[in-house]
Structure 1
Amino acid sequence: MDLVKVGVVGCGTVGSGVVEILLKNGDLIEKRTGKKIELSLVADRNVEKVKKLDVPENIIVDDGFKVVDSDVDVVVELIGGVTVAKEIVLKSLKNGKHVVSANKALFASYGKELFEEAKRNGVSIRFEASVGGGIPVIKALNEGLVANRIEKILGIINGTANFILTKMTENLLPFKAALQIAKDRGYAEADPSFDINGIDAAHKIAILSSIACGRWITVDDVYVKGIRDITPFDIEFANEFGYRIKLLAVAKFENGTIEVRVHPAFLPKSHILSSVDGVFNACLIEGDFVGPTLYYGMGAGKEPTASAVVADIADIASSRGSSVPAQLLYQESQIFIKNPEDFVSSFYLRFTAVDKPGVLSKISGILAKYGISIKMAFQKNVGFNGGVPVVMTTHDASFKTVRRAVEEIDNLDVILNPTFLCMIEE
């Protein structure tokens, strides 16, 4: 029976989960893979923390590079970040070791470089846990949907933002109050910027779209907008007119172009992703032959993410000596990234105006000037940020056109605050 030696670098939340699975379910994994997977080294600066996991003291080290320079077959990088983690991964690959990682930021920023290094050295990188926690969405793209041209990816892939929006929807809470609940329950970090500003989801959709189109998409290619500006009024309006607001990650492929974006979106209540609540994630992937497919589950957390990491280790153990998976990642397809100005969508617009006659006609006049057709207009005589809210939804228009119109509207003397605009994903 082949022996596969594993070294874990980083024993935080996910790393400790990986260690626990390998120690507890090692026999089960061996029966299912036909390979003995041995936890050979665990590296963490806090050695005492690792000892509490019942890890034998003789395999605990305080420096990740000691794992890289050892005789392990697989290095599991779980320290996060894109500096030391990149050094760990690159040196592991150059040393001929397979790598497993959950590091979405690393792959979204340096994936092309890392995979080329892996290919040169004939080793594998597995990264299922970088997107969707325990949901096997990367494996679905790499394997299950390999016969399809991917036409669309829609994802709710940040549990923190989804939890906040769920609380805002259920209780009409202000953003800050819902964020505090997320922090109190451990779903949001002390500094939640990456989650609420959409950066975390942007890393993930960059990875998924790279696999789907055969060209490396980096986080810099993704249009990103967070959820800070959403108010209970927007939630209430959306609900009244048959929508829910979600932080949506989108990749659409058409005629040799790809548009990649992360932003709050109005989704019809009838849309399958509208019912994804709390910290759950879901990813809807549409292929030209298979049609729409849905992947749903816990998108983060110790156990689900550790489960995905160990599954990657088992995959490597079962196919040792194989090169990097996902041959799509080697191609430099003639795929062009669409400028956000060219995105076409219907829009929700919320203006904050003075309470006087003629406001609606001034706004609609400017929209008409730019050829933007109004689908619905609504004014509510309630206090809102020092004025009254005026809400409109539009028919399809280019992002560029809508933004220009909004800039002109915001310069009107009857408009008190910057306008909030949100795409509607029908």
Structure 2
Amino acid sequence: MNNQPLKVAVLGCGVVGTEVVRRLRASHAALADRIGAPVEIAGIAVRDPRRPRGLDIDPALFTNDPLELVKRDDVDIVVELLGGIEPTHSLVAAAMEHGASVVSANKALVAAYGPELHGAAARAGVDLLYEAAVAGAVPLLRPLRDSLGGDEVTRIVGIVNGTTNYILDRMTQKGSAFDAELRQAIERGYAEADPTADVEGADAAAKAVILASLAFHTWVPPAEVYREGITGVTVQDVADARAHDCVVKLLAVLERTAGEDDVMVRVHPAMVPRTHPLADVGGADNAVVVEAAGAGRLLFRGAGAGGTPTASAVVGDLVTAARRRLLGHRETASPATVTGRVRAMSDVRSRYHLSVPVTDSVVALDDIAAVLRAHDVRVDSVQRRRTAGPDAWVLVTEVSGESALRAAVQAIAGLPSVGAAPRFLRMLEPVEEEAAVG
């Protein structure tokens, strides 16, 4: 045991930061045994150092000057839990420049500046670790980087945002509307006061960038991730999914054709068959299915949100960084920082669920069928939905091209017999039939 303590600076003391500090204090002896040296908190950067935080800790450790803290020569590891891009980016860069390894849970920062930050870490000879940035407590990034490092990952499909999964799960269980369940999610602490990043898919898209860098060794610029959120998911969409023995989930889908360099990364809601392992993932949990040439299909599942699960992953990274610091070496394998070619959403092939409100059911069906044939979109099933208002035709297509489907939908919307713009959702294939579609 090395008696010289490793010193840790914590940036941010919100829900996750408070739990991290509490764990470092409560598990002091156990962590020292696992690392080989004690860990000591050097300082905690917060906006208001005088605010009570319920931590049994010396008040003098709190500071409102994070830059001064990360530049201290005695700081070995900086734990970044501020979130956002700036001033976080500048603080992390300064910490590494001054020789500190960095542990972060900030998926937006890593997605936006991953190549730059990894380059800075390599130049400084320090670690940059962010297991908590994707799927909370679920150990996912390290298995992708290390355990599957000698395999060829071809596809990842996952639920990587706990807030949207909670909302959609509640809509499924209760038959309630999106707005009502969003309010519940905010009130219960499953969503931020401003939930835009979650419900519009930006949070999941940032995580998809990180997954692609590890799985495909390709850096995908965040702007090139196709993104649809869940704000447009309706009660009828959820009911339609149930009628097809499916549930609606917000998915991150990453694909690469074996032997090719280009990748496709997208985030959108989809109907997931009840037989699929992602279908029964409830509440704020996350789950990710990884498909690899050698390992086959692997499922990673667990708590994806909340202070305690996220703190678990943060402290795990801190232990790794501390061990390496003590041994005098850093992580040599980092994600690829080379930007790859990203395939367009128009290249997607999938089954689609199409709902078309009509003014004349008989005429409309003939018109819709003619348009779909003209765009080479084949229909697997058709059902008439009778309502108190206008009827609707509900169609499920065979596997079709996204560009053809969108062109057909646009043409159908202009038919005189169609009462409103058609709606469509992509359908994930049952797991026993899955190919490169989604």
Give a deviation string over 1:126-168, Cα, whole Å, max 9, x none: 0011001111111111122212111111110111111111111
Counterpart of 1:90 in structure 2: which amino acid? A
1:191-340 correspondence runs (5 A) = 191-254=194-257, 255-320=260-325, 321-324=328-331, 326-330=333-337, 332=338, 335-340=340-345
Counterpart selection for 1:359 from 353, 357, 364: 364
TM-score by length of 2: 0.93
Distance 1:85 1:380 in 2: 52
Matching residue of 2:23: 21
Query: Higher mean Cα deviation, 187-196 or 51-60?
Result: 51-60
Structure 1: state its 5+ residue gaps.
none
Query: Higher mean Cα deviation, 173-182 or 272-281?
Result: 173-182
Contact 1:351 1:419 in 2 (8 A): yes
Counterpart of 1:33 in structure 2: which amino acid? I
Contact 1:51 1:57 in 2 (8 A): no
Instruction: Say if 1:325 and 1:203 are closer, same or farther in 2 by CA, change over 3 A.
Output: farther
Counterpart of 1:235 in structure 2: which amino acid? V
- Say whether 1:374 aligns with 2:374: no
Contact 2:353 2:394 in 1 (8 A): yes
Matching residue of 1:419: 422
Contact 1:265 1:425 in 2 (8 A): yes
Give a deviation string over 1:235-255, Cα, whole Å, max 9, x none: 222112221111111101113
Q: CA deviation at 1:36?
A: 1.3
| RMSD of Structure 2 on Structure 1 (CA) | 1.5
Give a deviation string over 1:148-192, Cα, whole Å, max 9, x none: 111111110111111111111111112222222222222122221
Matching residue of 1:388: 391
Q: CA deviation at 1:327?
A: 3.0
Instruction: For residue 327 of structure 1, give the secondary structure of its aligned residue in structure 2.
Output: coil
Matching residue of 2:5: 3
1:174-185 correspondence runs (5 A) = 174-185=177-188
Distance 2:313 2:25 in 1: 16
Counterpart of 1:41 in structure 2: which amino acid? G
Distance 1:388 1:218 in 2: 43
Distance 2:409 2:284 in 1: 34
Matching residue of 1:158: 161
Contact 1:67 1:75 in 2 (8 A): no
TM-score by length of 1: 0.95
Contact 1:168 1:178 in 2 (8 A): yes
Distance 1:270 1:326 in 2: 37
Give aligned-pair identity as a percent.
Answer: 35
Q: CA deviation at 1:51?
A: 5.6
Contact 1:351 1:389 in 2 (8 A): yes
Q: CA deviation at 1:281?
A: 0.6
Counterpart of 2:128 in structure 1: which amino acid? I
Structure 2: state its 5+ residue gaps.
430-438
Counterpart of 2:21 in structure 1: which amino acid? V
Matching residue of 2:103: 100
Contact 1:128 1:309 in 2 (8 A): yes
Counterpart of 2:57 in structure 1: which amino acid? V
Q: CA deviation at 1:337?
A: 1.1
Query: Higher mean Cα deviation, 153-162 or 232-241?
Result: 232-241
Instruction: For residue 238 of structure 2, give the secondary structure of its aligned residue in structure 1.
Output: helix
Instruction: For residue 350 of structure 1, give the secondary structure of its aligned residue in structure 2.
Output: strand
Distance 2:408 2:332 in 1: 46
Contact 1:77 1:89 in 2 (8 A): yes
Query: Higher mean Cα deviation, 47-56 or 78-87?
Result: 47-56
Matching residue of 1:113: 116
Counterpart of 1:307 in structure 2: which amino acid? S
- Say whether 1:346 aligns with 2:351: yes
Q: CA deviation at 1:355?
A: 4.3
1:26-175 correspondence runs (5 A) = 26-49=28-51, 52-70=54-72, 71-175=74-178
Distance 2:6 2:360 in 1: 71
Contact 2:363 2:417 in 1 (8 A): no
